[in-house]
Amino acid sequence: MSTGLWVILVIGIIAIILLQAFIKPAVLIVKLVVKSGIGIALIVIFNFLGGIASLALPFNPATVLIAGFLGIPGLMLLTYLQYILQ
């Protein structure tokens, strides 16, 4: 094999390794953003419906991520914690 072919092969292998190294964090970031959006939507719906009973959850990164990752049980957990800590 010629030297040029070896160089192309090595560059290709390095490119594949770097591509895999950058794709995994990007996928995690996309999942985090999607889950945060779901958490915001759940908190908005809860605050809208909970206004009848004077229940509301604040918007902050912790509550949004808990609601996003845990869903309805996360909202129940946040409501329970708010009730206990008042």
Does residue 65 lie within any of the structural domains?
Answer: yes
Does residue 32 lie within any of the structural domains?
Answer: yes
Say whether pLDDT at 58 is over 80: yes
Q: What is the pLDDT of residue 64?
A: 92
pTM over 0.75: no
- The closest alpha carbon to 56, from 68, 47, 64, 65, belongs to 47
Q: How many domains does the chain have?
A: 1
Q: What's the mean pLDDT when you consider all of the chain? A: 89
Boundaries of domain holding 52: 27-85
